[in-house]
Amino acid sequence: MIHNVLVVAAAALPARAGERRLIGLPPPAASAAPWVVRLEALPGRLAATLARLMRSAGGSARPAPGRALVLGGDEAAFRLFLDRAGRRHEGREAAAEVGEAMARWQERPRSLGLARGVLPLGRTLVMGVLNVTPDSFSDGGRYKSPRAAVGHALRMADEGADLIDVGGESTRPGARPVRLQEELRRVLPVLEALVPALRARGTGRGANGRGGLGRPLVSIDTTKSEVARRAADAGADLVNDVSGMTFDPAMPAAVAESGLPVVIQHIRGTPRTMRKAARYTRLLPEIAAFLRRRIEAALRAGVREDRIVIDPGIGFGKRRRDSLAVIRHLHVLRSLGRPILVGASRKSFLGAEEELPPDERLEASLAAEALAIAGGADIIRAHDVKQAVRAARLCDAALRVAAARP
């Protein structure tokens, strides 16, 4: 999208000026509108035209920082605005983007395309973390051997994990890159043992929640295209790239060739530099713009849109206040129309005030995961699978059932 359109429901609009800056909004108007839509990168003449059309439709239009325009109104006003703007040459493209973003915001994705079949998204899915590294921030060194790794993965399957995310390179703040051969040495033996073990057992909570497979899907957490290719050959079902497919230019083509779905995550900097890179002017619009650019790169490479998941990258190039703000305003990213994955489990921002070690952040992890689900997360990535599954089921009972009622 040229104008990085973001939709916010009025009930979720923050009143404080600092909070509104995070999502690129001006100070509040005297009266609130049921729908608020933000567009950016607008030339002055186009912004004036769109503002005039929105006001004539019975809505409101206000300038915002970043050459942006914030439109407000009820559904009738937006329908009339979209009709009128769509008839004008200079407003047609922007109107189409607004209409698409509103439609995407209102209708959550119902499934994720797989290489074979689909993964239904009728409930929140839980991705269990399996680090086969010596230096991950939470559980590094515990599951270095294939036997230990597979044993832990099977326990997570029994606890209800829908996906198992296997990673052979630590992405904790300050971590140094791992060479290709070393990462392959870590992950391939685990995948080669885990995939058949899961297929043989068919364990877990029902085949219907797992694309009809009756087992958790296996994800490979990597930024390297060759690791992704070899993992796909070993039976991996999904690629999870914390760089948004930016660290390795060959990654989009590798994912497209494999036919696997991919998680595109936002990051600023690299794991080694991201603490220093955590500076934003308008947090959510900048995250959304990055994700949209990477979605477009994936589509150009041949990745199908129904096989793309987005992740705002909690803690990846974000200060504590940034990560908390992403959780508060996660619903804004529904404008992109793709399933949302959130990985907050045991991260440092959860224990910052008490300086809690990772293994004492369970309660905070569950709270963050529940808030993310309320904000629209479709998948949560968790170390403590049993507890995360229980929290997700309660959230779904309160939120998804209510949303489905007329």
Q: List Cβ neighbours of 84 (8 Å cut-off, separation of 6 or more).
A: 53, 56, 57, 91
More confident: 203 or 228: 228
Please determine, for residue 7, whether its predicted confidence score (pLDDT) is greater than 60. Answer: yes
> What stretch of H or E contains 128?
strand 125-131
pLDDT above 70 coverage of the chain, percent = 91
Section 139-145 average pLDDT: 68
Q: CA 89: distance to chain centroid?
A: 34
> Is 132:167 a contact under the CB 8 Å cutoff?
yes
d(CA 101, CA 275): 32
Of the candidates 121, 28, 1, the residue with the CA atom closest to the CA atom of residue 12: 28
Cα dihedral 130/141/386/190 (nearest 10): 30
Section 30-52 average pLDDT: 90
Highest-confidence segment of 14-18, 28-32, 242-246: 242-246
pLDDT tens profile 288-313: 999 999 999 999 999 999 999 999 99
Give the active site residues.
347, 381
Section 317-328 average pLDDT: 95
Max distance between CA atoms of the chain, in angstroms, equals 67
Pairing assessment for the beta strands 238-241 and 262-265 based on DSSP bridges:
parallel
State residue 212's pLDDT score.
52
Domains of the chain listed by start with CATH number: 6-106 (3.30.70), 111-404 (3.20.20.20)
Please determine, for residue 15, whether its predicted confidence score (pLDDT) is greater than 80. Answer: no
Confidence of residue 406 (pLDDT cuts 50, 70, 90): very low
State residue 205's pLDDT score.
44
Of the candidates 386, 389, 383, the residue with the CA atom closest to the CA atom of residue 139: 383
State residue 405's pLDDT score.
46
> What stretch of H or E contains 68?
strand 68-73
> Is 128:155 a contact under the CB 8 Å cutoff?
no
Q: List Cβ neighbours of 369 (8 Å cut-off, separation of 6 or more).
A: 342, 344, 345, 377, 380, 382, 388, 391, 392
For 202-310, where are the alpha helices, taking DSSP H only?
Answer: 225-233, 251-258, 283-301
Task: Name residue 111's beta-bridge partners.
Answer: 120
Confidence of residue 209 (pLDDT cuts 50, 70, 90): very low
pLDDT tens profile 341-361: 999 999 989 976 777 888 889
State residue 172's pLDDT score.
84
State residue 25's pLDDT score.
82
> Is 67:45 a contact under the CB 8 Å cutoff?
no
Please determine, for residue 286, whether its predicted confidence score (pLDDT) is greater than 60. Answer: yes
Confidence of residue 277 (pLDDT cuts 50, 70, 90): confident
State residue 337's pLDDT score.
98
- Give the number of other CB atoms < 10 A from CB of residue 53: 23
State residue 11's pLDDT score.
63
State residue 217's pLDDT score.
97
Confidence of residue 29 (pLDDT cuts 50, 70, 90): low
For 74-202, where are the alpha helices, taking DSSP H only?
Answer: 75-86, 92-106, 146-159, 180-201
Please determine, for residue 136, whether its predicted confidence score (pLDDT) is greater than 70. Answer: no
Please determine, for residue 87, whether its predicted confidence score (pLDDT) is greater than 50. Answer: yes
